[in-house]
Each structure stands twice: as C-alpha cells, then as structure tokens.
Amino acid sequence: MIPFLKLIRIKNLLVIFFTMVGVAYHLKKMNPYEVIDFNALHYGLLIFSTLIIAAAGHLINDYFDLKADRINKPEELVLTKYLQKRWAILGHWLLNFLAFGIAVYLSWANHTLLFVFIHLVSINLLWFYSVSWKRKLLLGSVVLAVLPALVVFLSTWYFQILNESDQAFSPYQEASWSTYLNYHYIQFLGICAFLVTLSREILKDVHDMPGDELLNANTIPRKIGAKKATWLALITLQFPAFLFVVLKLVCAFDIPTTFGSVCLGLLALLFLSQMIWFALQPEKANKWLLFQFKIAIPLGLLTLFL
C-alpha cells in the first residue's frame, strides 16, 4: 500500500486537497454576511476528480520516466520493484475515465461545459507532458507549473458559476440573484503557485541532469548549464514579491489577513536570502535550494485558513 501511495505522490495530492478546501474556507471566512451558493457534494466531487487526474498523471509519468529514475533516484523506484508496469497504464486510464465521468455530471448539473473542458485539458496536458513535452526546452516545466495554478483558478470558477448569474436581475426570481465575491487574493496565490512551481521544476532538472542526459531530454540546465539555470530559478522566485508591489501601486491590492502578510513577507525574504546565499556560496547553497519549497507550499496554504 505504501509503495502505491508513493507512486501517486500522496503528498502532492494532499496539497491539492487542502488547496481546494482552503479556497472554499477562505471565501466563506472573508464573506461572513454574504449568501454564498455552495453544494458540498458537487464541490467534493470536483476535488475528488481533480485528485484522481493528478494521481493518474503521476502513474503515467513514472511509466515513461522509468529509465531516468533508475539513475536519478533508484532508491525511490516503485514500478518494476513493487508494481508491474502494466498496472500503471491500466490505473492511468481507469482514473481518467472516472474523473471525466464526474466532470460530465458536474457540467450537466451546473449547466456549463467548463468542468468537462478543464478536465480534458488537464488529462491531455499530463499525457503529452509524460510522453514528450518533458524533454522539450521549457515546455515541460511550464506545463507542470500551470497545473497547480489551474487547481486554484478552477476552485474560484466553481464559486463564480454558482453565484454569478448571467440572467437579467429580477427581485422575484432567485435564479437571477448574484453574489460577487472578491477572488483577487486567491488568484494572486494561483499566479504565485505557477512561479514557485516553475522555479522548483527548473531546480529539479538541475538535480536530474544525469538521467536527462540518458534520455537526451532538452531541459534548461542541459541547454544553458546548471549554474545559469539555477540563477534563472532563483530570479523567478523574486517575481511574486515584484508582482505584489506592482499590484499594490496599480490597484491598491492588499493581503486580507495579518497572518497572510507575515507569511508571504517571510517567504519573500527567504527567496531573496537564498539568491544572495547562492551568489556568495554556491556550493553550500545548492544543497538547500530545494528545501525552501517544503516551507513555501505549507505556508502559502496556511494563509487560506488563518
């Protein structure tokens, strides 16, 4: 059981779960006097379908990444060691089929094609990433960075579909009533998730260079060198703070809670200090660069709850 949980990346799935729950909780908490339409069963199905698409993506990725994983992380190998390869293919198709079925139901129940469209896009992005895009310059990293942001935006779109009516307003028809919620902070976190994940993927490619050479993968570190790729990843990590300053100046954007301000401020300082440390002592800093993401992701999630 534990090897299977490792194969589907249970930690990543927990991050997705708490992200989607966090979005719902945050909207409810920040709008206590608004009447927010919310169907717990449907939102639970949306979370479940998102989780199993992600699990299916991990299965198929490990299937196509087997040769590289034997070099980059042989001690973490699950396929062929605990589970035969054909079960990964079978699991991939079964999980995606179930997720797509849920998406069809949600789209029908909510009179929108959005859920079918997003699920199809996600399934195909993960498939093409695993088959070929991961070996193409920048494309693979961008695809993996888009998906966490898509989870955040999908959660907000669910609330918009339920609460914002496109019918002409009538005080006598409840279907025409609208509740307009403020999604700006959540959408800001979605953009930050994209930038942080993109940086992490570049750094992981630096770490995985031996296996990528075996597969002849056209990754950023192989193209421009490990040091320049590390600089690119560290500079990318500075963009969330830059984006916040721009939004603050242009549209008076603000972080809704003091806890969120403190957490995101600490993360901005962490990212900046890591870049300075790498500039001064690159060999020592290299050992800890990936560790910062283990701090960043939980702290970012906590701002939705506290």
What tens digit of pLDDT does each residue of 82-111 get?
566 677 788 889 999 999 999 999 999 999
Residues 26, 301: contact at Cβ < 8 Å?
no
Q: How far apart are CA 259 and CA 256, in angstroms?
A: 9
User: 83: helix, coil or strand?
Assistant: strand
Q: What is the mean pLDDT of residues 279-298?
A: 89
Question: How many Cβ atoms sit within 10 Å of the Cβ of residue 103?
Answer: 25
Average pLDDT for residues 243-264, to the nearest whole number?
93
Pick the CATH number of 182-306 from 1.20.1050.10, 1.20.120.1780, 3.40.50.720, 3.40.50.10480: 1.20.120.1780
The whole-model pTM stands at 0.91
Domain edges within the chain: 1-165, 182-306
Q: Which residue has the higher pLDDT, 71 or 142?
A: 142
Token output for 103: 């998406």
Higher pLDDT, 14 or 164: 14
- The DSSP element (H or E) to which 290 belongs, if any, is none
The pLDDT value recorded for residue 34 is 87
Bridge partners of residue 79, in order along the sequence: 83
Task: Determine the angle formed by the axes of helices 184-207 and 291-305, rounding to 10 degrees.
Answer: 170
The residue length of the chain stands at 306
Q: Which CATH number fits domain 1-165: 1.10.3720.10, 1.10.357.140, 3.30.70.260, 1.10.10.10?
A: 1.10.357.140
Report the distance separating Cα 16 and Cα 299, nearest Å. 14
